[in-house]
Amino acid sequence: MEDWKKLSKEEKKEWNLKKKENDTWWEKAKQLRCITPYAVFIQKHVEECKNKKQEIPNFKEISKVWKHLSNKEKNKYYEYANEMNEERKKRRDFFEIINGIRPKRPAGAYKIFLSEKAKEGCFKGKVNIFKEGKKLWENLSEDVKNSYLKKARKIKLCYIYRRLLYRKNIKHLLPKKPPNAFNLFFTSLKGITVPKGKRFYEIVNEKWKNIYQKEKKSIEEKAEIERKKYEEKMKKFENRIFDEPKKPKGPFPYFLTEKMAEIKKENKNLNFKEIIHKCAETWKDLEEKKKEKYYKLSEKDRERYNAENEQFNEFGYYVKKRRKGRSSSKEKKDKKDKKEKKTSFPASEKKRSKRIDSKIKV
């Protein structure tokens, strides 16, 4: 509390803004957590009380009602919970990818078997779980083992799909993480001669410990500047993805972008409104055959909007498609080779070169 009181108003504002950013991220993540059947029962029970305009009971009273329910009635809530968790899992995967979280590698068949047995309570009070789990795994039949292998394959397919999404749609858009002060110091010492019997990392670590405080502060200040740049880029990236998709353009805006520069050169004294008015007049006088080009561009934009809008309605956000990048170095080399083949000497020039060679020999 004493440290908080010593802070200035500007510093307090910064801390409050950081808190709000964390709260918004946590609220989004909170909506995607797994839900239990008991929680589904509470939600529906509260909704029924509100619709009937009755008083909402306490959790103790609701728990008593849940205990007295039959197994058939409880199975309904188990089915509702499984459906909701499947939908939330899809949204959670996209949420993790968009926030720059790499998809984790899935568990194998043996680990799935161990996790199920641990939930049943087979390993209570036992020190080495893996040894005892091996014995149980070896005693299993082949049919039971194949069931665990099928589960592991399904999980692996989901992991591959998530990894492809991360690479194609997100990885090239994410800003690079900023380096620490130690990483900046590490890069500055590259090219130093290393004595025998020592490693480069050990020498850097010793110098970092024995460095002066003034030099250390200057390096830390550089690291803070890069960290702030990274945070600004990350905010732009989040706004780019979580915003609603842009609505499609009509044919006239595409026509306007082409003809705007020509009309400005011809009539420099006109205002912006007058230029648009002239473009509209030319658009009306155009033939339908010339207008087809602009109608095709508007149709492509509408297809883009429909695809992004479907994703936005399902998951609450969308991912923009990757633009076609520049050609790689291999493609450039192939193009050069093709050009050289095309620009090779024709037959007439080859004959001329042979004549010159014969004259020189003589």
**Distance of alpha carbon 40 from alpha carbon 46, whole angstroms:** 10
First and final C-alpha spacing in the chain: 103
With beta carbons less than 8 A apart as the criterion, state whether 179 and 226 touch.
yes
Rounded to two decimals, the pTM is: 0.37
State the average pLDDT over residues 27-41: 74
What is the C-alpha separation between 260 and 211, in angstroms, rounded?
61
Mean per-residue pLDDT of the chain: 75
Exposed, middle or buried: residue 318 (CB in 10 Å: 0-12, 13-18, 19+)?
A: buried
Confidence of residue 321 (pLDDT cuts 50, 70, 90): low
Quick: pLDDT tens for 303-312: 888 888 877 7
Q: How many CB atoms lie under 10 A from the CB of residue 230?
A: 15
**Buried/exposed code over 189-207 (b: 16+ C-beta within 10 A; e: otherwise):** eeeeeeeeeeeeeeebeee
Q: What is the rounded CA–CA span in Å between residue 126 and residue 92? A: 35
Distance CA 45, CA 320 (A): 40
The answer to whether residue 141 scores a pLDDT higher than 60 is: yes
Confidence band for 353, pLDDT divided at 50, 70 and 90: very low
